A and B are shown apart, each in its own frame.
Chain A
């Protein structure tokens, strides 16, 4: 247990952030552990695991149709399995953020009355909420940004070398390997916070936080293909999108067939527009949080 330094009798601003971190120290430790473990796993995937799996595939490919082919199958499976676990752990972050913000961060404080305890110290409810949104947002960003980057590297290490590697548009891969992950986590945090302020009870708010986060993710999934103009082909015969591109739609008849798709070149435009949409949504949810707080505490809460 780290002892806090004795406060100086100064008249500076109240140290809200310090106490927020102290109150949620176990969550902070758990979050740090999750980020570190996942990061270590992703570094292993990107380095030794990907190299071994690529070597396995090289052996396999050199076999041709030789029935007595010898190749390192376990290395291929190890990369595949651990990649999936790492993706799952990373993809859970937005939900964890939503659940925690709804339950522990706000739902519990409003249910037990400690929110009112804080509001009757020397700072306003608005400041109280601002600190409770900004500090976790900073912590979540600090954790998810490196995770997303490492996840992208772990995926890119297999691209073109490991045939069983995921495509760039695979749901788990796309949403955990770029700024979209940061956007989703921040939106989850804000959605959880709103759930906490609306429901004001720990467990229901936790559940609603997860549900809202899921709804946000679902919306992004539906919107994603339309966030950047697709390329298309049409003509006679059953056409297919170029290899490595994400087919968005295809149909028609043999005489007149069309296909629309996103090539890999759209990866970053799609990442960035989806992130922008998520950040806009986060801003709206945050605004809603402050409006609900004002309804709870009255107009004068800011002063």
Chain B
């Protein structure tokens, strides 16, 4: 197992020869064992990135390494759940799991898959077509986790789930991460949905990476400041600034000590994300672009995970 789950460099995907770029210049590295939120507005390129990593699409340009090899080579070690949780409607729940066993010989963890399904109070004899949205998600997750993936790619996994099912299934995912050190990348356009469960963030806007890194590092690298309207924000990197009356409020990346008369606060993850999405011109912050690298506060080895 390598210590890098996903490494992309200048990755780009264009649909059709003349189509627009769904993803461009994407350079990111997701360390193994992390739970990564892939966040961005609808149509930002999140699904494209996940599908590329799952080996479902070929890249138009750039390089993509997944679990130390190509996405196609890593196919048996990747779990993927698409946004609409496709399943064969004519099969029963039990048959769907048996299919998972048959299609993933030598990898299948029948007990784990059945545990996820039975925790949802699902009748194994029910046809998939008769299931509710939350139940479908549960079966789709069981199918993906039964494969014992080292990397789990989830496209909008929690969309159209009620809060209870969302909490429960997120718990299932976190247990997976805690027990097996599974790297998880999940997309959402609602950052609050993922905030507590993820330790890594990848913010995509307009097909480009805007923020990437450990959430704690990203938060530590930014400061919300309030100062007099005539305050000079240079030499700090300004993500967003607004002047109201005599007051200037801004989201900045400090390049050094801040004047004592500025009032400062740590931004929330949501503020950080919204600030960057509202200001597409703001410079991106990714591990390569970070000049003053923040302390690696969130590095956690997954070995000591569970006792």
- Which residues of A does B touch, CB under 8 Å? 4, 6-7, 9-16, 18-19, 22-23, 112-114, 116-124, 294, 296-303
Contact = CB atoms under 8 A, between A and B. Distances in A.
A7 B106 CA distance: 11
A4 B95 contact: yes
Interface string B56-79: 111100000000001111011011
A6 B56 contact: no
Given A113-B86, A120-B75, A121-B147, A11 B54 contact: no
Contacts of A7: 98, 101-102, 105, 108
A22 B73 CA distance: 28
Nearest to A1: B92
Given A6-B98, A121-B147, A116 B80 contact: yes
A114 B88 contact: yes
Contacts of A22: 91, 95, 99
B59 A298 contact: yes
A116 B103 contact: no
A297 B55 CA distance: 7
A42 B143 CA distance: 47
Given A4-B95, A4-B98, A22-B95, A14 B57 contact: no
B264 interface: no
Contacts of B302: none
Contacts of A300: 55, 58, 70-73
A122 B95 contact: no
Contacts of B126: none
Given A122-B147, A297-B56, A303-B72, A23 B88 contact: yes
A19 B103 contact: yes
B82 A121 contact: no
Contact of B103 (A10, A113, A123, A296): A123
Interface of B: 51, 54-59, 70-73, 75-76, 78-80, 82, 84, 86-88, 90-91, 95, 98-108, 110, 143-144, 147
A124 B70 CA distance: 13
A15 B103 contact: yes
Contacts of A114: 86-88
Query: Residue among B59, B86, B100, B108 with the most chain A CB within 10 A?
Result: B86
Given A114-B87, A121-B100, A298-B59, 14 more contacts: A7-B98, A12-B105, A22-B99, A116-B51, A116-B56, A117-B88, A117-B143, A120-B75, A121-B147, A122-B75, A122-B104, A122-B105, A298-B57, A302-B72
B226 to A, nearest CB: 48
A122 B84 CA distance: 21
B71 A14 contact: no
Contacts of B144: 120
Nearest to B102: A15
A292 to B, nearest CB: 13
B70 A303 contact: yes
B142 to A, nearest CB: 13
Contacts of A9: 101, 106, 108, 110
Given A7-B102, A122-B75, A124-B72, A299 B86 contact: no
Nearest to B80: A120
A303 B73 contact: yes
Nearest to A12: B105
A122 B103 contact: yes
A276 B87 CA distance: 39
B78 A120 contact: yes
Query: Residue among A118, A120, A301 with the most chain B CB within 10 A?
Result: A120
A120 B54 contact: yes
Q: Which 10 A-B pairs have the closest CB atoms?
A: A298-B58, A11-B106, A113-B86, A300-B72, A121-B103, A120-B80, A15-B102, A122-B76, A122-B104, A303-B72
